[in-house]
Amino acid sequence: MPHELFRKGFSLLLKSQTNILSAAFIIMVTIILSQILGLIKQRLLVSIFGASDTLGIYLASTRLPDFLFQLIIAGALASAFIPIFSDYLSKNKVQEAHKMASSLLAIGVSIFAVLSAILFVWAPFFLTIFNLGSGFSNEEMNLMANLTRIIIFGQLLFIIGTFFSALLQSYNHFFIPGIAAALYNLGIITGIITLSSTVGIFSPAYGVLLGALFFIIVQLPMVKKIGFSFKPTFSFRVPGVLAVLHLMWPRTVAMAIFQMGTIAIVAIISFLPNPGRNYVIFDYAQTLAFAPIVLFGQSIAQAAFPILSREKNNLENFKTTFVASFNQILYLILPVSVLLLVLRIPIVRLIFGAGQFDWEATVLTGKTLAFFSISLFAQALIYLVSRGFYALHDTKTPLYIGATTTAVMIALGFLFIFSSGLGIESMAAAYSIATIINLVILFIFLDRKVGGFKKTSLIFPILKIFSATFFTGFALYIPIKLLDQLVFDTTRTINLIMLTGISAFAGLSLYLFLTWLFNVKEATTFLLIFKKIGNWREVLKKSDEVIDATTVKP
């Protein structure tokens, strides 16, 4: 019986998803798996290398390869390839669609290969140009360059896997691409465990190569099943190729600006004492903050995107869907924000407090996480607001606003670090301030573009949710203060787990009660979902909200 249940459940996951609920469910499940593996990867790194300059050099060495990947591939696949490819499929032009896909894959890999070869040969030069090494010695710069050379090969493989994911998502398959992305982290974990004792900090870099192979191999059977066969053609005249290039450029430029912002952050951090250690702290705090953003913000925004696109000519329905998704994201992200703010030190200790990750690094990571947590709601909602513009075929407005707020972030970072003499946590503050400004401006412009949202459907739920969140903060703070040391000896891991669990349960329970008491619609909705969880297979099979051709990757 359990075997049969597992078989049926797994076969359901492998099917093409036909409705928003099933797609969102699968996206969230695979994101959780990927995040768990990602946290394991980072815990292994700090347990072996500590919050050290060496680990900071490795993290910095990933920036340039990732910059090239985002610039050349990610913008095309996320904003242009999937809708155009799916449009061909909807018109039963399968052969033309696959020919266009083959041509784009060949062109993308070729361009990336040429740029990778240039980066491989002149890695130290480009790392200096991008100011990644301002505070590093020559020996550390050479180590960073050698790590970059290995990682760039992994990114070349990752391009192929990412392209396979876009193909499968065009056919509304989300489970296999999500699992493949999670296994990328598993490859890095395998590299760390098996090679760290022999090659040291090069072990995660070799793990990137292994993870990229996992990412490709896991998707191959499903890619073959949908009938795709790679037939390379290096021509821009293939129908659809120029259309993709035309649509992708604003998103590509926006991604380039964002990546330049992250590189600027590394450059600013490199002027602090112990730059590698400070960068590890910044990166690890950002990872913890980013987990709920991706889980709630990206998942809900991605599930809402097809409906928003379908209703672009019916603005009343568009606004109704947008407001509902806006409130859902806010309802889920705010209690997590205050939880990370209040329980920052126990959470950092539990997740990263191993081996050489010392107490000073734990406290500083907690402080940095606190500043990130202030803007979690804005970072999550930007996913939705940006997709609101994309659904209306406007990719330029998010580009201009994103460029402006990235400049604000960099300026604030310079001000805090050089003029005010503040520490690494001030970079998180600059990031949060810029993100909140980004959200506010984006929302104002979108509000004007659609003729104005109904303010009562936004203001009153937002006030209720923020009020419940405020009291939740006290419910989290009081137990941890009363129980810490007086009841639990938190030098022991089991006691720390119990203390964190009790405080989190008290806070989140109060939040659920208050939002129910305040008659917040989202509280009732999620309670009904929990009641129906036993019939999840029947729920997922319902097809009342059909996915259209604008679905993007998780």
**The predicted structure's pLDDT at residue 297:** 87
Of 18-27, 412-421, 489-498, give the range with the top mean pLDDT: 412-421
SS3 content of the chain, % helix, strand, coil (to 5): 80, 0, 20
CB 503 within 8 A of CB 474: no
pLDDT at 309 over 50: yes
- Residue 534 DSSP class: G
**546 - beta bridge partners?**
19
> 163: closest CA among 144, 177, 147?
177
**The predicted structure's pLDDT at residue 270:** 77
- Band of the pLDDT at 11, cuts 50, 70, 90? low
Q: Is residue 187 one of the residues assigned to a domain?
A: yes
Tens digits of residue pLDDT in 138-174: 888 889 999 999 999 898 888 888 888 888 877 777 7
Q: What is the pTM of this model?
A: 0.76
Q: Is residue 490 one of the residues assigned to a domain?
A: no
- The two structure tokens encoding residue 361: 């690094």
- Band of the pLDDT at 24, cuts 50, 70, 90? low
> 285: closest CA among 343, 329, 344, 350?
344
pLDDT at 539 over 80: no
Please report, as a single letter, which amino acid is at residue 148: T
| Percent share of the chain, pLDDT over 70 | 84
pLDDT at 445 over 90: yes
Q: Is residue 17 one of the residues assigned to a domain?
A: yes
Query: How far is Cα 319 from Cα 367, in angstroms, rounded to an integer?
Result: 38
Query: How far is Cα 315 from Cα 452, in angstroms, rounded to an integer?
Result: 10
pLDDT at 68 over 90: no
- Within 10 Å of residue 511's Cβ, how many Cβ atoms? 25
Burial classification of residue 234, based on how many CB atoms lie within 10 Å of its CB (0-12 exposed, 13-18 middle, 19 or more buried): exposed
* Among 51-65, 400-414, 420-434, 519-533, the least confident range: 519-533
Q: Is residue 77 one of the residues assigned to a domain?
A: yes
Higher pLDDT among residues 252 and 164, named by residue: 164
CB 428 within 8 A of CB 286: yes
pLDDT at 554 over 50: no
**The predicted structure's pLDDT at residue 409:** 92
Residue with tokens 């394991």: 40
**The predicted structure's pLDDT at residue 546:** 38
In this prediction, residues 335-358 reach a mean pLDDT of 83
Q: Is residue 262 one of the residues assigned to a domain?
A: no
- The two structure tokens encoding residue 536: 């999840």
Query: How far is Cα 428 from Cα 432, in angstroms, rounded to an integer?
Result: 6
Q: What is the tally of structural domains in the chain?
A: 1
CB 187 within 8 A of CB 212: yes
Residue with tokens 């999937």: 82
> 180: closest CA among 191, 169, 195?
169
pLDDT at 246 over 50: yes
CB 540 within 8 A of CB 12: yes
Per-chain mean pLDDT for the chain:
81
DSSP string, 256-276: HHHHHHHHHHHHHHTTSSSHH
> 148: closest CA among 167, 166, 125?
125
CB 18 within 8 A of CB 547: yes
Higher pLDDT among residues 240 and 448, named by residue: 448
**The predicted structure's pLDDT at residue 527:** 60
Tens digits of residue pLDDT in 181-234: 889 999 999 999 999 999 999 999 999 999 999 999 999 999 888 888 887 777
**The predicted structure's pLDDT at residue 131:** 52
Q: Is residue 4 one of the residues assigned to a domain?
A: no
11 three-state secondary structure: helix
* Cα angle for residues 511, 515, 517 (degrees, 5° grid): 115
545 backbone φψ class: left, alpha, beta (φ>0; ψ -120 to 50)? beta
> 553: closest CA among 171, 217, 96, 21?
171
- Band of the pLDDT at 18, cuts 50, 70, 90? low
Q: Is residue 58 one of the residues assigned to a domain?
A: yes
Tens digits of residue pLDDT in 458-504: 888 889 999 999 999 888 888 877 776 665 666 677 777 888 888 88
Higher pLDDT among residues 375 and 489, named by residue: 375
**The predicted structure's pLDDT at residue 433:** 95
- Within 10 Å of residue 138's Cβ, how many Cβ atoms? 9
Query: How far is Cα 263 from Cα 410, in angstroms, rounded to an integer?
Result: 10
In this prediction, residues 397-420 reach a mean pLDDT of 88
Q: Is residue 361 one of the residues assigned to a domain?
A: no
Tens digits of residue pLDDT in 356-367: 677 788 889 999
**The predicted structure's pLDDT at residue 458:** 82
